[in-house]
Structure 1
Amino acid sequence: MPPNSTIKLMYRLSILCLFIGVQSLIAQNTPFNRGVNLTGWFQANSAQGIQFSKYTKQDFEQIQSLGCDVVRLPVNLHYMTNGAPNYTLDPLFLNFLDEVADWAEELNLHLIFDNHTFDPAADTDPAVGNILEKVWLQMAQHFKNRSDLIYYEILNEPHGISDALWNAIQQDVVQTIRTVDNTHWIIVGGAGWNSYYNLDDMPVYSDDKLIYTFHFYDPFLFTHQGASWVTPSLVPLADMPFPYNAAGMPSMPPSFAGTWVGDAFNNYANDGTVARVQQLLNIAVQFREQRQVPIYCGEMGVFMPNSDNDDRVFWYEVVREYLENNGISWTMWDYHGGFGLFEAGSDGLFDHDLNVPMLEALGFNIPPQSPFVTTPDSTGFPIYTDYIGAKIYESSYNNGSLLFYSQDLPNNGDYCIRWTGADQYNNIGFDFRPDKDLTYLLSEGYALDFLVRGNTPGLEFDMRFIDTDTDSPNDHPWRMRVTIDETYAPWDGHWHHIHIPLADFTEHGAWEDDTWYNPQGDFDWAAVDRFEIVAEHSPLQNAGFWFDNIQVTDLDTAQVFETGVLETASPTAILPQLSIFPNPAGDFVRVKADIQREMDWQLSDLLGRIVRKGVFKQSILIDLSDLSAGSYFFTCTDKAGKSGVKKLVKY
């Protein structure tokens, strides 16, 4: 067997000859050609959990500049509702999705709303059609007047459900959508994880605006080496080559003996070849030719951590070229994630961190790349103003209730941050990516400026910057902090403006690997990793704090607008907010409310069936040992009729 480099050269020569000999390629059969999955954005547990500012219209422009004409947007659609029985979509979620649709339409980008509400560890519920029909009816009603750039994908990777049952459910959902929307394309897929093997089992649906999707991750041991979510875990598997090369094969980890992984490993000489990959893709090609319907590869990818980059790039080249030579459109999985387009371990900066060989393999345009050099910030910047600021990522550690889009009388704009029920040392975290150099702003007298409101006298919290932790054994994540108490503002239910020069922050020390390090004067303003608001001194219990317009600025001109006073004497004025831990959970789960009053509670499955109920006050431990794996909704309601809802997952 020749070495891998020779195999790859032979493949590329054969493709060149094929390209020269082909007079006309099969035309693309979908309105779009190629693109990316924009993961980790709308895959949240609720609309409140979406960090909307993670991506902007500029990101869509950059994706388009690569040569993409479609974005597949995975959405945990069922979690964007109020749960059983009506599954009413959250208006906040629809507001966010409307803005994304606006960007796509302004740029003439195709946009697929992919219902990604699925749990790889739990079979698709045979009664899932009840939810699908309700959420898709609302989606279709909301987007029916949008352009034909918008697409509906019914459900990602149904599995553990028979083809016959799933196909019937899918038909019912299509018909439900068509009661209000006959315009937009609907993307349908087979059972068995949207496998190409299940395409033939799908019926000949009568609708003439359907696109049939499949996913491609073969050979699986190559594409998923290092994956922890597989059973058995593939974390021990590394350096599997593609294509197969006997001399380059790693030793099989002993834990795989007697498992399907061991069988696949022993058969890799057959499965890990270019010919086998093309043979499997041909199953989808033949389906398209027999049915004369448009098909589309919705996902394809190779997990980065344990795979060789050259082999990974070659796999994408093989799959992409075979799809395009056969007129099949595709969206790679993913963009910034573990399967994505950026260099492993980088900050994912478009101008600095793109994996250029990967772009070449995918036939993308290659934007100029340059090494990233940290330079001092020369102007102030927002940390939170309705949304978290640009290139800042939420990194909170919190067991209480934390809302970034609270409408509890914000000082200005649409939203404020609401934080209640936090345990001691919980924090609201803002991770700077890349790290920030604040030395110039420090020298020029810039300050941390914000508005805050509290409802319980006597409490205090810290605001702190944390620097980067280098490889030096003497370096730690040092903290610069200010403690905010009622010497700054009374906690009286009103908004108060606070302006603290960066120079007034004092070094606090560092916590690392369960060890406390006293301050040594080593905090580095040139390498600030993140900003945090911390319940350093005590738990918040029933108390709450609200924050608005957090920024680093040289202006001390923020105004307090009396939008109303949050009642401090009437705890029933506040909706109960819930925290669940652990989540996902095993046999037991602890649910904690941020309000100390008696409430009725119930636990229901995704079909609205109540599986547990009772009464509790602030905290309860629930036995889940006899429940099936899957997703559930915990709902509590107080005597005033105010309720809170939280999703939990049983593994």
Structure 2
Amino acid sequence: MEKDTLRKGINLGGWLSQYRVYDAGHFKTFIQHDDIQRIAGWGFDHIRLPVDYPVIEDEKHPRTYLQNGFDYVHACLDWCDRAGLRVIFDLHKAPGYAMDAQDTNQLEDSPDCQNRLIDLWEALTREFLSIDRDLLAFEILNEVNFRSSERWNDLVEQVIQRIRPMDAGRLILIGGNHFNSVDALSEMRIIPDANILYKFHFYLPFSVTHQKAYWVEGLQKFDRSVEYPGAALGLKTFLAKYPEYCNSLGEDVDVLFDRAYLAKRMEPAAEFSKIHHQPVHCGEFGVIDRASLQTRKNWIRDCIAVFHENGIGHAYWSYKNMDFGVVDEAGKVIDQELLDILVG
């Protein structure tokens, strides 16, 4: 798979990752062949497939891998192959790490968890070795947040060293530290491997994209609508009262959010691409459904325009539900204009 073929994609969040309950009925129905055909028909060229490790590894018996979990992925690959869609296999949750479990994560400090991650990638590489490299790419781990970027860089190299003797030509995506922040691209170690694609996620300004999010304590407590283009009115006063949220929200105080702001905040990605003479990919971007529909459309339109200006491929979060969805639980398109903006 060439790096620049991943231009316009969408995530399948909530299917094999972040599911409400581990249930075969859910896995067999949440995404089906018709969904993949529909996505291709809309004009997307790839999907990002988030997968939590318990789907493919027995949590109670480490290194016991689950064929029924692999089979769900194989089904998706078959559907995408027939529809002409490329696939990024995103390991969304790993032994000892999940982006939404920061208080209990162990991966950075646990050699056992690190070795399980490396062994899991060996198992994944073997399982999908026969899959056309133009169909399937790997993404090592979603939204890592380590204290040290160097520790993450070291672990990335160990995973790649395990994959490459078996599969030298597979495209591998790597995101930086701090939840794949665009600012962390500069902290990534450049690996002398022609089949590495560096990536980031983009949810800025956070007070717009995650406004009133029930899983973000500061924004749940702020509980204000923030329009785009516009500003986070009342945020300065809120942070004076609750300074514990300054680290996550302080950047959004007294700032006009518009296309120029998005372009400025995406400069680290454009600069990284220019310095290293290679494309970058944005694996997630989007606006929560608690924002006004007009704000969602305005932000997505401007964000995609900035992607295009900088030659950045992208995958929207997310196709179905997950608080950011293009379609609802029943598969109904939430807003045709929003979809039209995404597919251009």
Structure-2-length-normalised TM-score: 0.87
Residue 359 of structure 1 pairs with residue 339 of structure 2: yes
Q: 2:175 aligns with which of 185, 189, 193?
A: 189
8 Å contact from structure 2 (residues 318, 325) kept in 1: yes
8 Å contact from structure 1 (residues 212, 295) kept in 2: yes
How big is each residue's C-alpha offset from its partner over 1:577-624, in whole Å with a ceiling of 9 and x where there is no partner? xxxxxxxxxxxxxxxxxxxxxxxxxxxxxxxxxxxxxxxxxxxxxxxx
Q: Which residue of 2 aligns with 1:129?
A: 114
Q: Which residue of 1 aligns with 2:192?
A: 206
Residue 155 of structure 1 pairs with residue 155 of structure 2: no
Deviation at 1:266, TM superposition (A): 8.5
Residue 349 of structure 1 pairs with residue 323 of structure 2: no
> Which AA in structure 1 matches 2:277?
Q
Q: Which residue of 1 aligns with 2:276?
A: 291
CA change 1:262–1:272 in 2 (3 A) is farther
Q: CA separation in 2, counterparts of 1:190 and 1:229?
A: 22
Q: CA separation in 2, counterparts of 1:266 and 1:188?
A: 26
Residue 139 of structure 1 pairs with residue 124 of structure 2: yes
CA change 1:46–1:173 in 2 (3 A) is farther
8 Å contact from structure 2 (residues 99, 144) kept in 1: no
User: Quick check: which has more Rg, 1 or 2?
Assistant: 1
> More relative contact order in 1 or in 2 (CA 8 Å, sep 6+)?
2
Q: Which residue of 2 aligns with 1:421?
A: none
Matching of residues 318-467 of structure 1 within 5 Å: 318-337=302-321, 338-342=323-327, 347-350=329-332, 353-364=333-344
CA change 1:50–1:205 in 2 (3 A) is farther
Q: Which runs of 5+ in 1 are unaligned?
A: 1-27, 365-651
* Structure whose residues are more often strand by fraction: 1
> Which AA in structure 2 matches 1:274?
R
8 Å contact from structure 1 (residues 124, 159) kept in 2: no
8 Å contact from structure 2 (residues 231, 255) kept in 1: no
Deviation at 1:119, TM superposition (A): 3.7
Task: State which drifts further: 124-133 or 316-325.
Answer: 124-133
Q: Which residue of 2 aligns with 1:170?
A: 156
> Which AA in structure 1 matches 2:65?
L
Q: 1:216 aligns with which of 164, 178, 202?
A: 202
8 Å contact from structure 1 (residues 224, 302) kept in 2: yes
Q: CA separation in 2, counterparts of 1:84 and 1:181?
A: 29
Q: Which residue of 2 aligns with 1:180?
A: 166
Deviation at 1:80, TM superposition (A): 2.6
8 Å contact from structure 1 (residues 41, 52) kept in 2: no
Deviation at 1:330, TM superposition (A): 0.3
> Which AA in structure 2 matches 1:30?
D
8 Å contact from structure 1 (residues 86, 134) kept in 2: no
How big is each residue's C-alpha offset from its partner over 1:516-574, in whole Å with a ceiling of 9 and x where there is no partner? xxxxxxxxxxxxxxxxxxxxxxxxxxxxxxxxxxxxxxxxxxxxxxxxxxxxxxxxxxx
Q: Which runs of 5+ in 2 are unaligned?
A: none
8 Å contact from structure 1 (residues 224, 234) kept in 2: no
Deviation at 1:29, TM superposition (A): 4.9
Q: CA separation in 1, counterparts of 2:46 and 2:159?
A: 24
Deviation at 1:252, TM superposition (A): 7.3
Q: Which residue of 2 aligns with 1:282?
A: 267
Q: CA separation in 2, counterparts of 1:251 and 1:211?
A: 37
Residue 270 of structure 1 pairs with residue 255 of structure 2: yes
Q: CA separation in 2, counterparts of 1:226 and 1:348?
A: 24
Say which SS state the counterpart of residue 230 (structure 2) adopts: coil
CA change 1:95–1:215 in 2 (3 A) is same
8 Å contact from structure 2 (residues 47, 315) kept in 1: yes
Say which SS state the counterpart of residue 279 (structure 1) adopts: helix
8 Å contact from structure 1 (residues 302, 339) kept in 2: yes
CA change 1:255–1:269 in 2 (3 A) is closer
Deviation at 1:245, TM superposition (A): 4.9
Deviation at 1:258, TM superposition (A): 2.8
> Which AA in structure 1 matches 2:311?
G
Say which SS state the counterpart of residue 174 (structure 2) adopts: strand
> Which AA in structure 2 matches 1:151?
A
Q: 2:81 aligns with which of 90, 105, 114?
A: 105
8 Å contact from structure 1 (residues 81, 87) kept in 2: yes
Q: CA separation in 2, counterparts of 1:176 and 1:66?
A: 37
Q: CA separation in 1, counterparts of 2:139 and 2:122?
A: 13
Q: Which residue of 2 aligns with 1:39?
A: 13
Quote the RMSD (CA, aligned, Å).
2.5
8 Å contact from structure 1 (residues 244, 269) kept in 2: no
> Which AA in structure 2 matches 1:241?
E
Matching of residues 609-648 of structure 1 within 5 Å: none
Q: CA separation in 2, counterparts of 1:190 and 1:267?
A: 22
8 Å contact from structure 1 (residues 74, 113) kept in 2: yes
CA change 1:348–1:48 in 2 (3 A) is closer
Structure-1-length-normalised TM-score: 0.48
Q: CA separation in 1, counterparts of 2:171 and 2:8?
A: 17
8 Å contact from structure 1 (residues 225, 235) kept in 2: no
Residue 303 of structure 1 pairs with residue 288 of structure 2: yes
Q: CA separation in 1, counterparts of 2:300 and 2:107?
A: 33
8 Å contact from structure 2 (residues 8, 343) kept in 1: no
CA change 1:90–1:201 in 2 (3 A) is same
> Which AA in structure 1 matches 2:78?
D
8 Å contact from structure 1 (residues 252, 262) kept in 2: no
Deviation at 1:231, TM superposition (A): 3.2
8 Å contact from structure 1 (residues 237, 253) kept in 2: no
* Structure whose residues are more often helix by fraction: 2
Residue 68 of structure 1 pairs with residue 44 of structure 2: yes
Deviation at 1:76, TM superposition (A): 0.3
How big is each residue's C-alpha offset from its partner over 1:165-210, in whole Å with a ceiling of 9 and x where there is no partner? 0000001101111121112111111111011111111112012101
Q: CA separation in 1, counterparts of 2:250 and 2:5?
A: 39
Q: CA separation in 2, counterparts of 1:78 and 1:198?
A: 28
Q: 1:57 aligns with which of 8, 21, 33?
A: 33
> Which AA in structure 1 matches 2:215?
W
Percent of residue pairs bearing the same amino acid type? 26
Q: CA separation in 1, counterparts of 2:245 and 2:341?
A: 28
Deviation at 1:235, TM superposition (A): 5.5
Say which SS state the counterpart of residue 50 (structure 2) adopts: strand
